[in-house]
Amino acid sequence: MVQSEIRQVEEEQRRTKAVELSCQGAWMKWNLPERKITWAELWRMEPFRISFILRLVYDTLPSPSNLHQWGLIEEPSCKLRGERGTMAHILSGFKVALTQGRYRWRHDKVLKHLAEILDIERRKKRPSTTGKSDQIRQRGRYWSCNKVTTALHL
């Protein structure tokens, strides 16, 4: 009980500090459902995905806005629409990308990748089950699945 109260106080202090940070705390202002990533999920992720998520949350990806802030480009605006090129702008939907088929292209790339993974898994050698009788245990008895019996006699 005391531990949970201490955790709540600590979490509130972390949130307060995050909101005070102008750039790195911007994620606190997003209106998104909260998601907690477990250690098991983190271990299963690819390193580049972890890097992308962390850099996205802390707004350190090379968006036009950040590149301008770092002195690497002249204009911080999006080349398609002329708006400020933030990650929120880039990742959210807008008509130019929609009419150019960019979302469809990205969607198709994801489907292609999934199809490749499924094809690889489908082709993997699996232990053969032919010739072995599958048995089902029902109420203490074993029943063989190789014999077909019917209760209906015509």
The reported pTM is 0.46
Residue 82, phi-psi category: left (phi > 0), alpha (psi -120 to 50), beta (remainder): left
Each residue's pLDDT tens digit, 4-53: 889 888 888 887 776 666 666 666 666 666 778 889 988 998 999 889 88
Contact 64, 73 (CB under 8 A): yes
pLDDT digits (tens, 9 = 90+) for 105-154: 888 888 999 999 999 988 888 776 655 555 555 555 655 555 544 454 44
pLDDT digits (tens, 9 = 90+) for 75-113: 888 877 777 888 877 777 666 777 777 778 888 888 999
Domain extent listing, the chain: 93-122
